[in-house]
Structure 1
Amino acid sequence: MGLVVLLGALAGCGSGESLERFDGPTMGSRYSIQYVRRSAAPGPKEVQAEVESILGQVDRQFSTYRSDSDIERFNALPANSCQLMPGPVLELIRVGEQLSAQSDGSFDLTVEPLLNLWGFGPQSREEKVPTAEALAVVRQRVGYGHLCIDGDRLCKDAAVEVDFNSLAAGYAVDRIAARFKALGIDSYLVEVTGELKAAGRKPDGAAWRIALEEPRDDRRVAERVIEVNGYGVSTSGDYRKYFEQGGKRYSHTFDGRTGTPVLHNLASVTVIHPSALMADGLSTLLLILGPERGWDYAEKHGVGVFFVLRDGDRFLTRTNDTFERISSAKSQ
C-alpha cells in the first residue's frame, strides 16, 4: 500500500493565505511539499532551498547509493573498526537498536548484505533464492549486536553494513517539519519518498487528506482516505519489490532473525505516529513481525495501525482504535 496526497483548493476566500507547492528528486525517488503561506511567511523559493539543504545533508549522511556518504564509508571498513559519526547517524543507530530489541532482532539495520545476496540491495546483481551455504556465510555479517556506539564513534566487531532505508526518509520529514516550525510555517504537508507528515489545515479550512492505496502491483486503488493533523504517516508493503521462484513470493522485507524474506499474508502496514521517523521504522517492524505478532506489538505500545492482509485474490483490512481516533480530523 502506498500513500497518495489528495490535492485541494489553492487559496482561501479573502483569507490572504495561499497554498504553495513544489517538489523535486531525492534519495532515488522524489519529495513534495505543500504549505500555507501567510503574509510574513517566506516564499516558495526560500523554503525550497531550506528543504533541499536538509535533504542533501540526509543523503550525504545516510545514502547507501553513494560511496562517499558517512554510512557507506563505515560500511566499507573491516571488522573491529570505528568511525567518527555526526549526531544524526548515531541518533538513528539508537532508534534502530531500540526497535531491534523490541522485536527480538527481527528488525535489524544491518541486513544490507542479505538484501544484496537475495537481489534487492544496491550491490546486488540477480534476484534469486541463495544456497544455504551462501546464506550462512552472509549471516555472519548481519546482526545489530555487532554495532557499538563509543562516544561520537560508531564501531563494529564484524564486517556488518548498515542500511537506513527504513528510517532515513521519516527522519528527513521530521527535520523539515522542525525547520518549518522555526520559519513560522504551521500548516503543511511534507512528503519524502512516500513518508509524510501533515499539520494544520489548508487555507479553506479543509484537512490534509491522504489516500491509502490497496497493495496491488497492477493498478492503483484507494483503500481508505484519512485526515491528518500533527502526525506522521508511513506505509510499508511487500508488493513493489519482490520476485517469485518455485511458486513462492519473496519480498524485499527481511526478518533479521532468519536472514530470509517474510512469507506471511500481511501485505502492507500503515502507521500513524507523532514522529514520522518512528512511523517509518514501525511500519517496517510491524510488516516483518506479521499479522499476529505485529498486531500484538501495536496494541501493547499504543501504535495506530491499518493492516491489509492477503486472502487468496482478495484483500482484508484491520485497523485498531488508536488509528481510528487519530486519523479523523474531527478529533484533532
Structure 2
Amino acid sequence: MQDLLKWRLYGLVILIVALSACDNGDSLETFGGPTMGSTYSVKYVRHAGLPAPAQVQVEVEKILAEVDQQMSTYRSDSDIARFNQLPANRCQNMPAPILELVRVGEQLSEQSEGSYDLTVEPLLDLWGFGPQAREEKVPTAEALAQVRQRVGHAHLRIDGDQLCKDAAVEVDFNSIAAGYAVDRIAARLEALGIGNYLAEATGELKAAGKKPDGSPWRIALEEPRDDQQVAERIIAVDGYGLSTSGDYRNFFEQGGQRYSHTFDARTGAPVAHALASVTVIHPSALMADGLSTLLLILGPERGWDYAEKHDIGAFFVIRADTGFVTRTSHAFARLSGEKTE
C-alpha cells in the first residue's frame, strides 16, 4: 500500500504473552503486514467454529485496501487525492466513508474553535512535513499568508453524495483514518463471531474480551523518548479504542527553536507548548484517534480543560525542567482503573 499515514507516531506498545492452546481448545491467532506506510496486526482468540487466520486476514486486508484507495494522500489515484487536485468551486462524488470522516472533522474543528482542521495539508507541505514537501524550514510570512487562504474546514461543503470546495483546499485524513480503519476491522471481526481480539493499525488499536488464559489485553503507554521505547505505564483494555498523538519524533529545529509536525490551523504554524503526547481511550478508535490529535493541538492547559469538560479519557505527558510530568483525566482513570493526579 501507499504511505497514507507516513508520519504516524507509535505511542502504544502492545504487551502480549505468547500462549499456546489452552485446555479448552482456545488458541491465540496472530497475523499482520504492511499498511498505510506502516504496519497492522490482529490477534484473536480462536475456538471451534471460528474462521482460520488466513480467512480473517483476507477480510481485514480488504478493509485496509479500501481505506487506502479512498483516503491516501500519498497516491495520486485515491478518491481524496483526486479531490485535492480540483480547483476551487468544484465538487466530486465521494464514497460514504469519506463523507462520514469529513463530518467528524467538522465536528472536531467546531469543538476546538478551528484549531483542529482536516485541510492543513498545504501547511504541512509548506513547513516540510507533508506528501508534497520539499524541505523542512520556517516559511516566509508572505508564503504562509498565501497558503493560509487555502486552509479552513469552512471551505468544504457536502451536497448529497458530493464533496464540494469553494477554495483550493486539500483534505488530509491522517489524524482519523487509521482509527476509522481499526473500527471497521473490529466490526468485521465481531461479525465473524470473534469476540476476543486486539486489532491495531499504524499504532491505533481497539481491544475486546480476554486472551485465551482469561487475562486482559494489556497496553503499555510509551514514554516520549527519541532513542528507545520505554513503558510509562500499563493498562488493561476491554471494549475501547486507544490512540496516542505526540510531537517527539517528527520535528525539526531552526534558529534554536523546535518545530513539530502538529499544526494549529488558526495560526498556520506548528504548536509551541510543553505537551509532548496525549493518549485517549474511547469506545470508538476513530474518535480516540481524532481526539488525541485535537488535545495535542490545544496543549497542556486548554487540552486538559477540554478533556475534563467533555469527559474524555486522556493521559497527558508534559515536558518539564526535570523531564516529564503526567496528568490523568478523571474519565481516563475511570475507564482504565488508573488513579487521577
**Aligned to 1:218, what secondary structure does the other structure show?**
coil
1:276 aligns with 2:294: no
Give me the whole-angstrom Cα distance separating, in 2, the residues matched to 1:310 and 1:266: 6
Taking every aligned residue pair, what percent have the same amino acid on both sides? Answer: 75
Please tell me whether the aligned partners of residues 148 and 268 of structure 2 are also in contact (alpha carbons under 8 angstroms).
yes
* TM-score when normalising by structure 1: 0.98
- Residue 256 of structure 1 corresponds to 265
- Alignment correspondent of 2:236: 227
Worse overlay, 8-17 or 193-202: 8-17
1:227-284: CA deviation from partner (whole Å, max 9, x where unpaired): 0000000000001110011111100000010000001000000000000000000000
> Does structure 2 retain, via aligned residues, the 8 Å contact 1:108–1:143?
yes
Contact persistence 1:12–1:204 (CA under 8 A): no
Say which of 300, 311, 316 aligns to 2:320: 311
| Divergent runs of 4+, >3 A | none
Matched, 1:80 2:89: yes
**Structure 1: distance between partners of 2:93 and 2:303:** 35
- Please state how far the C-alpha of 1:9 moved relative to its aligned partner: 3.6
Name the count of aligned residue pairs: 329
CA offsets, 1:284-307, max 9 Å, x none? 000000011101111111100100
CA contact (8 A) 1:9 1:204 kept: no
Q: What amino acid is aligned across from residue 267 of structure 1 in structure 2?
A: A
Alignment-mate amino acid for residue 307 of structure 1: F
TM-score by length of 2: 0.95
Alignment partner, residue 128 of structure 2: 119
Partner of 2:100, secondary structure, is helix
Distance 1:75 1:13 in 2: 51
Say whether residues 1:184 and 2:193 are aligned partners: yes
Structure 2 residue matching 1:280: 3-state secondary structure: helix
**Amino acid in the other structure paired with 2:106:** E
| Match among 200, 203, 207 for residue 212 of structure 2 | 203
Give unmatched runs, 5+ long, in structure 1. Answer: none
Determine the C-alpha separation between the residues in 2 that align with 1:123 and 1:109. 16
Query: For 2:267, what is the secondary structure of its paired residue?
Result: coil
- Distance in 1 (CA, whole Å) between partners of 2:174 and 2:19 is 33
Q: Indicate the residue corresponding to 1:104 in structure 2.
A: 113
Aligned-pair distance for 1:180?
0.7
CA apart distance, 1:12:
5.3
State the SS of the aligned residue for 1:22.
strand
- Give the distance between the partners of 1:210 and 1:154, measured in 2 at CA: 38
Alpha-carbon shift at residue 10 of structure 1 (Å): 1.9
Partner SS for 1:104? coil
| 1:69-104 CA distance string (max 9 Å, x none) | 000000000000000000000000000000000000
- SS of the counterpart of 1:155? strand
In the alignment, what sits opposite 1:243? Answer: 252
Q: What is the Cα deviation at residue 321 of structure 1?
A: 1.8
Q: Give 1:220 shift.
A: 1.6
Q: Tell me, yes or no, if the aligned pair for 1:11 and 1:204 is still in contact at 8 Å.
A: no
Match for 1:251: what amino acid? S
Could you say what the CA RMSD is over the residues aligned between the two structures, in angstroms? 1.0
Residue of 4, 15, 27 corresponding to 1:6: 15
Q: Which amino acid aligns with 1:32?
A: S
The amino acid across from 1:245 in the alignment is Q
Stretches of structure 2 that go unaligned for 5 or more consecutive residues are 1-9
Contact 1:54/1:175 (<8 A) preserved:
yes
Structure-2 separation of matches of 1:118 and 1:159: 18
**8 Å Cα contact 2:308-2:330 kept in structure 1:** no
Match of 1:40 among 32, 49, 53: 49
Mapping for residues 54-65 of structure 1, pairs under 5 Å:
54-65=63-74
